[in-house]
Chains A and B, each alone.
Chain A
């Protein structure tokens, strides 16, 4: 897929939990090129003396009607804080679309999209793309506590959702892999994005039941385009770049202790 570098305009920046998360809605002067669910962008952070590299952020949603790209960001350090401080009308320089994206199924089935914390972000666009293909999705969203379960109304547009929180403040108490829906339903395909710990547990669940499963990986990145080889994941084919051969990988590619 052809990659681009261009300035986008902040249309809206919605803060959650007093600035712990932000939803950036970015507009573009031309029609947004095709972006696959699971792909990411590299955002240039300006005016932060401690931030040198671009920040890889997954595509949360592409609003084709409004020609907007949504990024859902958790504020972790100075770079992501700068993103949360963006005002309407500001410009952000992006390199996009990057990475491979989730494999879209060829026929209908029972699909479960499992997100942990801010890892849920790319699953919204995945759900939207699955719906576009005429497929129904179910979402299982996990987080530490109720306030970290975000964008529920958006997810609800594309399918049924289940919630698990570690403290039981919303949905079922426990990890996503403890949720009762995993015991009561037979899924054909699972997509997941979240912490490695969570995704390992999801991958184990999928493998035990012979369910196809794709995970979206995260790693610190420099270039984002396969040039620097900093973000590699050890796979059955050796070390491969998460930025180009991922971030989405089938669990059969991984060397994790599943």
Chain B
């Protein structure tokens, strides 16, 4: 039996399959379909210091092999998370990771300080790549200086595993990855959604209320795979790969490209059991080729 466990920044995960923020609620939404304890980790919905109502509708547009979203980080704020959500998810036997976002560095820091206190949350994923909010979000993740500043500030107050989620909407994602690595990020996850747009030809107007939105789903996989491959070569910290993964083969490809772990996002909407199928598929693959550990596969292209 192959060993599926991996390690990121000293934290052990039972397998390399995590679910991506914004696609998996707080985990329990999927509890009727899968055994959550079989997941390597769950990255819960983006959380901000203050409650956010998100953008107005339409927030979603279907595309061939994908979708655009413009949810805009709707959430009830970190205090609500701590008092109402955390008690319901803290006993899920998986790595529960909170995705943290903000409009200012102070907000990121204040949110991270509060999450740092939660015993059963061993990591945060710092979201410097949301394309759907006017201030903050992607603005931090699209240039090295601001990416460095926010990671430096959060690193000072957050003492557990710090993952930074990167935006693909940049000229060279490896520069940003190196910048956040230099500020003490333990890992980078990529890619967040690609900025896109949909227009309704019949109505002659944009589909999304925000005009542009974030593209996700199988259509972005080749772009994500390329960026993961580039980034894994450029940094020493572990890379978490995501972007359009819809089956075990996709996941294996990301690992071969250099990812230590993967996140399953949009495809959860199509098949709420897909994450577990991917765990099983990776295990079958390892056994089939006689690998003792999934770790042997990381970046192991011939």
- A residues lining the B interface (CB < 8 Å): 2-5, 44, 49-54, 95, 219-234, 238-239
Contacts and interface: CB of A to CB of B under 8 A. Distances in A.
Contacts of A52: 62-67, 217-218, 270
Interface stretch (B50-58, B83-91, B161-169): B50-58
27 contacts: A5-B33, A5-B272, A44-B270, A50-B64, A52-B62, A52-B64, A52-B217, A54-B269, A54-B270, A220-B60, A223-B268, A224-B269, A225-B30, A225-B272, A226-B25, A227-B23, A227-B268, A227-B269, A228-B23, A229-B54, A230-B59, A230-B71, A231-B57, A232-B54, A233-B57, A239-B53, A239-B74
B64 A4 contact: no
- Most B CB within 10 A of own CB, among A5, A52, A54: A52
Contacts of B217: 52
A2 B273 CA distance: 15
B-side binding surface: helix, strand, loop or mixed? Answer: loop
A228 B269 contact: yes
A52 to B, nearest CB: 6
B29 A227 contact: yes
Contact of A225 (B29, B56, B71): B29
B184 interface: no
Contact of B54 (A49, A51, A239): A239
Contacts of B218: 52
A200 B219 CA distance: 38
Contacts of B64: 49-50, 52
| Interface range, B side | 35 or more
A222 B25 contact: no
Interface in B80-115: none
Contacts of A232: 54, 57, 59, 74
B69 interface: yes
A150 B266 CA distance: 36
B245 to A, nearest CB: 14
A135 B69 CA distance: 43
Nearest to B52: A239
B270 A53 contact: yes
Nearest first, the 9 A-B pairs at minimum CB distance are A230-B60, A227-B25, A3-B32, A223-B269, A227-B29, A222-B269, A229-B71, A230-B59, A229-B74
B277 to A, nearest CB: 12
B24 interface: yes
A229 B59 contact: yes
Given A220-B58, A220-B60, A226 B74 contact: no
A224 B23 CA distance: 11
Contact of A226 (B29, B54, B57, B271): B29
Nearest to A226: B29
- Most B CB within 10 A of own CB, among A223, A227, A232: A227
B230 to A, nearest CB: 27
B22 interface: yes
Contacts of B30: 225, 227
A107 to B, nearest CB: 33
A231 to B, nearest CB: 7
A54 B269 CA distance: 8
Nearest to B218: A52
Given A53-B269, A222-B269, A228 B22 contact: yes
Nearest to B22: A228
Interface string B242-277: 000000000000000000000000101111110000
B57 A219 contact: yes
Given A53-B270, A229-B71, 4 more contacts: A5-B33, A52-B67, A220-B62, A227-B23
Given A4-B32, A52-B63, A54-B269, A228 B53 contact: no
- Most B CB within 10 A of own CB, among A49, A220, A224: A220
Contact of A3 (B23, B33, B71): B33
Nearest to B32: A3
A45 B58 CA distance: 22
A223 B282 CA distance: 25
A3 B65 CA distance: 25
A238 B71 contact: no
B62 A95 contact: no
A111 B22 CA distance: 40
Nearest to A221: B60
Contacts of A234: 56-57
A35 to B, nearest CB: 15
Contacts of B62: 51-53, 220
